[in-house]
């Protein structure tokens, strides 16, 4: 006997988990007339009553993924009253985890979706940082949450990637005396720009190590003190012209510099709101 069956999937979130479980289970049967009806974002007891009143008139069963205790209780009671089979997917797993972890569940709908959204936002920020690294495309400056500027070896790229993992879109622009500064830099709000500077002696050491890694001689102009002082003076002039905050990164770890930038972002947000 193969009667028509309607499976009601009820959730206080999107309901996708419950629907996928039902589909997987139904696939194990030759069910020629099976229908799945999904009811997402159920947040009121009245909604549950309406669904039960519809289900009681059909050959039906209910599968639910609800984390709000009061709604679970109401659904069980209403289904039992009308002799409708109701299967709770989430509660046995949550109870087991509660016992194993020794912790209480949040009982908040849609958390997995929020986690997914946060993950994809992070990926988007990382891709942005790669695309607009080292002044590759000045069009990205207007799209960025923060723009880092500074001479070579002032941690622009490491900071960009670190902040990207905090879901912040960062572009960075190298300041080189021989290369014109992109016009777009002067068309964005100065509070979105962070100038990075450093101690010339420290920078000299870093650049010499960089030359060694590349198999070049230490006498190259790139690592000379005169060149470094010239670049720092040039960069300082640009930063003053822009009126942007300046961070000395010479004695700071990436995390420490990033923390200062995050605080600047926070202050800017407060001012705007």
**Residues in binding site:** 150-157
- Whose tokens are 């891709």? That residue is 127
Nearest alpha carbon to residue 75 among 67, 83, 59, 86: 86
CA angle 158, 162, 165 (to 5 degrees): 145
Positions at the binding site for ADP: 150-157
Cβ-proximal residues to 120 (8 Å cutoff; 6+ apart), any chain: none
């Amino acid at each position: 006997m193969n009667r028509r069956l309607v499976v009601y999937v009820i959730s206080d979130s999107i309901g996708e988990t419950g629907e996928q479980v039902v589909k997987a289970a139904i696939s194990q049967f030759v069910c020629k007339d099976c229908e799945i009806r999904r009811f997402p974002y159920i947040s009121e007891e009245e909604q549950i009553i309406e669904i039960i009143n519809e289900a009681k008139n059909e050959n039906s069963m209910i599968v639910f993924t609800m984390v709000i205790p009061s709604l679970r209780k109401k659904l069980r009671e209403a289904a039992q009253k009308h002799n409708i089979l109701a299967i709770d997917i989430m509660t046995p797993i949550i109870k087991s985890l509660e016992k194993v972890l020794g912790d209480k569940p949040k009982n908040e709908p849609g958390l997995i979706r929020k986690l997914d959204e946060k993950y994809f936002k992070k990926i988007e920020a990382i891709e942005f940082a790669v695309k607009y690294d080292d002044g590759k495309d000045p069009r990205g400056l207007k799209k960025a949450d923060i723009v880092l500027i500074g001479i070579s070896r002032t941690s622009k790229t490491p900071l960009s990637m670190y902040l990207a993992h905090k879901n912040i879109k960062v572009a960075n622009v190298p300041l080189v005396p021989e290369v014109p500064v992109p016009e777009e830099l002067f068309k964005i709000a100065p509070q979105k720009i962070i100038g990075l500077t450093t101690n010339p002696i420290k920078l000299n050491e870093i650049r010499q190590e960089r030359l060694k890694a590349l198999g070049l001689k230490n006498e190259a102009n790139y690592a000379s003190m005169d060149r470094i002082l010239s670049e720092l003076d040039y960069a300082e002039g640009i930063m003053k012209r822009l009126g942007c905050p300046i961070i000395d990164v010479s004695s700071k770890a990436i995390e420490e510099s990033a923390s200062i930038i995050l605080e600047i972002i926070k202050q800017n947000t407060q001012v705007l709101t």
